[in-house]
Amino acid sequence: MNDKKKGFILLDVLTGLFIFSLGFAVMLALINTAYIKNSYTDNILQAVNLASSTVDEITVVLLEDPSAVNRYLNGTERDESGRFSRTVCCEWDSQNLLKISVKIIWTELKDQKEYNLTYLHYIAE
């Protein structure tokens, strides 16, 4: 082989390595983005489930005993569940409608996120 062909082979190998490393870097960026989005979605789903289960617990108690409504009208309750903080507030929206508000707060990537769920529960007299 002459010296001119050896230079072209080296240039081809370097070009191939550059294209491979560029593709590899793009794949790593995609995997990182997918991981962050998956984490965010998981936190949202946990917040929705926590808020929904809180509303379900309150409505089951009120369906069994409508006079228990006074227990929930005392003001705002706040508690912690793992990395989530839950705030529950019940108040009358109209004469027979009880408004149940649940706010779930958590920290994600140094940002505070929140999910709010408001539910109207009819209480027959």
Output the tens digit of pLDDT for each of the chain's 125 residues.
555 555 678 888 899 999 999 999 999 999 999 998 898 899 999 999 999 999 999 999 888 888 888 887 877 788 887 889 999 999 988 888 999 999 999 998 789 999 999 999 998 76
CA distance 55 to 64: 14
Name the 3-class secondary structure at 93. Answer: coil
Pick the closest to residue 84 from 117, 118, 107, 56 (CA basis).
107
Contacts of 85 (CB under 8 A, 6+ apart): 78, 79, 104, 105, 106
Pick the closest to residue 95 from 54, 65, 124, 53 (CA basis).
124
- Three-point CA angle 57, 105, 87, nearest 5°: 45
